[in-house]
Amino acid sequence: MSRIGVVGAGSFGTALAIALAEAGRDVTLWARDAEHVADMVATRCNARRLPGPVFPTSLTPTADLSDLTKSDAVLLSLPMQQLEPFLGRNRDVFDGMPLVACCKGVSLQSGNGPTAIIDQACPNSTSAILTGPSFAADIGRGLPTALTLACANAEAGETLQSLLSTPVLRLYRSTDPIGAELGGALKNVVAIAAGIVIGAGLGDSARAALMTRGFAEMRRFAEHSGAAPDTLSGLCGLGDLVLTCTSEQSRNFRYGMALGQGDAFDPAVTVEGASTARAVAHLAAQRSIDMPIATMVAAVLDQNLSVADAVQALMNRPLKEE
């Protein structure tokens, strides 16, 4: 039986662990909170982060990272800003193992994406990223989901694709991790902007325009960063963008709606797009990349610009060809 380790018992890590265990893998799910682990062991579910789905018998929660060292691959389902410090502290545990990032964003600390962080911290590991249009609740319920698995090493990517695909989790392989991870990161920024549009009452036509121009920004930034031109047209870019900008299951979209409505948002909810907007706006300024939507989102988040002023600034940009 194949053995999979999952680091991070949030909603997405838990959902992946359940899906893989349901498909016959031996899965170990790590959480840092021993009390949380004890609750999961006792109840055979993760009521804190993913209420409802029951753990298959082959899913074992643990608070001991050493329990993951015999895994055929380890999925790193941590918030983006935690990935770099986590691997820095635990590189000796994971270096040499196949490591698959399951987070979306850009590090505020280094400006790197997930696979670059893995490569630097664990140079003897094979790095990959699993990304695309998906909600943890759907995966946990066994609903069909398609994702992109990107690994620069084609042979290793094929092995991981076979290892991690299930009857309801269909993985499409790519050798462009830069494009895949930037698609997943940048769409969260656009989703915040789309939420602002809807929250401010600007309508679906404005959201459609925002998504279209946001996708152009995503491609521009990704290609400037070395991504293949067509990568973002797939699941990890356009597919993820459509889902995240049109569903209130998306935390980034809900956060944007709260901003647009002038409402408070639960600070306990991780909104990856907020950190990504700041990082991308900084990098775009450094590299002279035109990213008006990301720049406006970052300015609104930092309270340097009101929602009304941001909308006016975008609408008053010079007219040009599409």
Are the CB atoms for 18 and 41 separated by under 8 Å?
Answer: no
For the chain, the maximum distance between any two Cα atoms, rounded to a whole number of angstroms, is 61
Tokens encoding 16: 């992946």
Q: Where would I find the beta strands (DSSP E) of 165-240?
A: 169-174
- CA dist list (Å): 295 to 177, 223, 228: 24, 18, 24
**Nearest to residue 77, comparing CAs of 43, 49, 52?**
49
What would the two tokens of residue 6 be?
Answer: 């999952």
Helix (H) or strand (E) holding 147: strand 145-150
Say how far apart CA 298 and CA 286 lie, in whole Å. 15
Which residues are CB-neighbours of 166 under 8 A, at least 6 positions away?
19, 20, 22, 23
Active site annotation includes 187: yes
**Which residues contact residue 14 at a Cβ distance below 8 angstroms, ignoring those fewer than 6 apart?**
6, 29, 46, 49, 50, 53, 136, 140
Residue with tokens 């930092």: 302
* Cα angle for residues 37, 40, 45 (degrees, 5° grid): 150
Which residue among 70, 104, 187, 320 is the active-site one? 187
Give the integer Cα–Cα distance in Å for 288 and 61: 46
Percent of the chain that is helix, strand, coil (3-state, to 5): 55, 15, 35
The structure tokens listed for 186 are 């940048």
> Is 127 strand, coil or helix?
strand
φ and ψ at residue 56, rounded to 5 degrees: -65, 160
Catalytic residue positions, numbered: 187
